[in-house]
Structure 1
Amino acid sequence: MNTKDARAAVEAAFAQVAPDIDPAELTDAARLRQDLEIDSLDFLRLVETVAASTGVSTPERDYHRLDTVGGFVAYLAESA
């Protein structure tokens, strides 16, 4: 999966799990918990939503790599 497709999958997951977040806020540097106020339950829902749409599951040991939108996109692009 290329970066463009990975970003589209992440943005679609955000739209489904946290529709109140403005898509313009989904910059590479945006931190999920601090900047976007994603709590642990919504984080897990994001991971599950991305897995369902892409087939890429993320083991818990890699969750630290998903701390920013850019990290999430990069992880997905590398893992697909």
Structure 2
Amino acid sequence: MNRTEALAMVRESISRAVPGADVDALGPADPFRDVLEMDSLDFLGFVEILGERSGLRIDDEDTPRLTTLSGSADFLLSRG
């Protein structure tokens, strides 16, 4: 997986967790939970979807790395 694919996977996972979210408007360092007003259940859904799509196990201690598009992509690339 390259960075472009990782970013696409993150965007698609957010879109599935929060239907109607304008993920194209997000910058790489924007805290998407704040920008998209995701509550904890939305974020948990995102983490679960991202884990399923990537085939990676995502633990609670990993979630602080999953707050921006860039951080989430970096996480996938470091584990993939």
**Kept after mapping to 2: 8 A contact 1:47/1:57:** no
Normalised by the length of structure 1, the TM-score is 0.87
Cα RMSD, aligned residues only: 1.3
**1:33, distance to aligned residue in structure 2 (A):** 2.2
Cross-structure match for 1:40 = 40
**1:31, distance to aligned residue in structure 2 (A):** 0.4
Cross-structure match for 1:19 = 19
* Structure 1 residues without counterparts, runs of 5 or longer: none
Aligned residues, how many? 80
After alignment, is 19-28 or 50-59 more displaced?
Answer: 19-28
Cross-structure match for 2:5 = 5
> What is the percent sequence identity of the aligned residues?
34
Counterparts of 1:64 and 1:23 in 2: how far apart (Å)?
19
**1:65, distance to aligned residue in structure 2 (A):** 1.0
Normalised by the length of structure 2, the TM-score is 0.87
Amino acid at match of 1:39: D
* Structure 2 residues without counterparts, runs of 5 or longer: none
Deviation track 1:14-40 (CA, whole Å, cap 9, x = no partner) reads 121112211322321110222221111
Amino acid at match of 2:18: A
4+ residue runs over 4 A deviation: none
Cross-structure match for 1:75 = 75
**Kept after mapping to 2: 8 A contact 1:48/1:57:** no
